[in-house]
Structure 1
Amino acid sequence: MSASDVPRAGASGTRQGRLRLDLLGIYLNDHLAGSTVGTNRAWYLARASRGTSVGEALGPIAREIAQDRRSLLDIMARLGVPARQYKVWAGRAAELAGRFKGNGRLVRRSPLTTVVELEFLLLGVEGKAAGWRTLRPLAETDERLDPLELDELLERAERQLRTLEELRFRRSQEVFRGLLGD
């Protein structure tokens, strides 16, 4: 779904009304926790893949994911939604715990690790895009939300998804066809 396909407020079947900031606050804080996980995982994978084509492609994506997290915090501030630090810390703890998964190796990265981590990032970016798609129609009736900013964030997420899928597919083929020499 592209930014132009996002339903607009006032379209058939939608109700215009005041934003439920209590529920939107919970929703945005859940996205903030996920964004914390995604930002940290993107940086970790970019560093772990340094010197490879995956690492070169992930550096800019990791920077964008960190910028998107800052954009989410800015949106929350404009809406008057406080960031719940316990959710941020829970996201950070979950990301760190995720590094200790079994990968068929005791002390070093398995070739499979990068494939799984790219899939994890794909899921996170898709979740982020869903969040932007949720906010976009609300921007039509709430001046605290900028429709152009949300369109740009959604387009960037879609570009990130294409790049991550390309990297994931290529890496999975290398791993499962035994082309890595590992």
Structure 2
Amino acid sequence: MDDRPNPIDRNLLGIYLNDHLAGATLGVDRARTLADAESERDPALADAVRPIAEEIAEDRAELLKIMRRLEVPVRRYKIVAGRLAERAGRLKANGRLVSRSPLSPMLELELLRLGVEGKAAGWRTLRRLADADTRLDPGQLDNLLERAHRQLDTLEQLRLRQVSTTFQESGDRPVHQESHA
């Protein structure tokens, strides 16, 4: 019986990693948009999301480094598709024509959480492949996976906090003053 691992299909790995890169691009844009949109309305939420947005951007950069080490070419059209998907997501019907719906932060937190779940699955996949490819650093992947788990915990706490404010009757919802500087 041959104990050597099976060689990795580079074509499939390239497709897989480029799909994750597109998702990471969408995640960075979505997290930054949420932080910016909530900066006046809910500064605490914006302040909590900003570091996660920066970490997601760092994770995207790490994915690009891994792709370079694996000699996987970046498919720019997938990055563009990720950016277009994020912008299209902003156009969704939210019950409001001009202003942001009280549902928007809740839904965006859920989308971010789903994206981080996908990212964690990608790190787990690469971690498994590290047994067959010495260009993959198991320690780096373990650290990325641990960070994804911390991000998931934080996003879930923020999401649960958001439940309390999102579903209050509008008369009971705190009114956030807009500053006109």
Match of 1:180, SS state, is coil
Matches of 1:86 and 1:110, distance apart in 2? 31
Q: Equivalent residue for 2:36? A: 47
The two structures have a TM-score, normalised by structure 2, of 0.89
CA offsets 1:117-175 (integer angstroms, 9 cap, x no match): 00000000000000000110211231110001000000000000000011011101211
1:168 maps to 2:148: no
Q: Equivalent residue for 2:178? A: none
Rg larger in 1 or in 2? Answer: 2
Q: Equivalent residue for 1:123? A: 114
**1:37 alignment partner AA:** L
Contact 2:27 2:112 in 1 (8 A): yes
Contact 2:8 2:132 in 1 (8 A): no
Matches of 1:175 and 1:87, distance apart in 2? 34
Matches of 1:136 and 1:148, distance apart in 2? 9
Q: 2:94 aligns with which of 103, 122, 125?
A: 103
CA offsets 1:21-73 (integer angstroms, 9 cap, x no match): 11000000010111111110011101111152111110100000000000111
1:32 maps to 2:21: yes
Q: 2:9 aligns with which of 20, 23, 36?
A: 20
Contact 2:165 2:173 in 1 (8 A): yes
1:134 maps to 2:125: yes
- Deviation of residue 17 (structure 1)? 1.6
**1:117 alignment partner AA:** E
Deviates further, 170-179 or 35-44: 170-179
Identical counterparts, % of pairs: 59
Q: Equivalent residue for 2:173? A: 180
CA RMSD of aligned residues (A): 1.4
Q: Equivalent residue for 1:155? A: 146
- Kindly report which structure 2 residues correspond to 1:53-92, keeping only aligned pairs within 5 A, or say none: 53-92=44-83
What is the count of residue pairs matched by the alignment?
Answer: 169
Match of 2:55, SS state, is helix
The two structures have a TM-score, normalised by structure 1, of 0.89
| Unmatched runs of 5 consecutive residues or more in structure 2 | 176-181
**1:123 alignment partner AA:** L
| Unmatched runs of 5 consecutive residues or more in structure 1 | 1-9
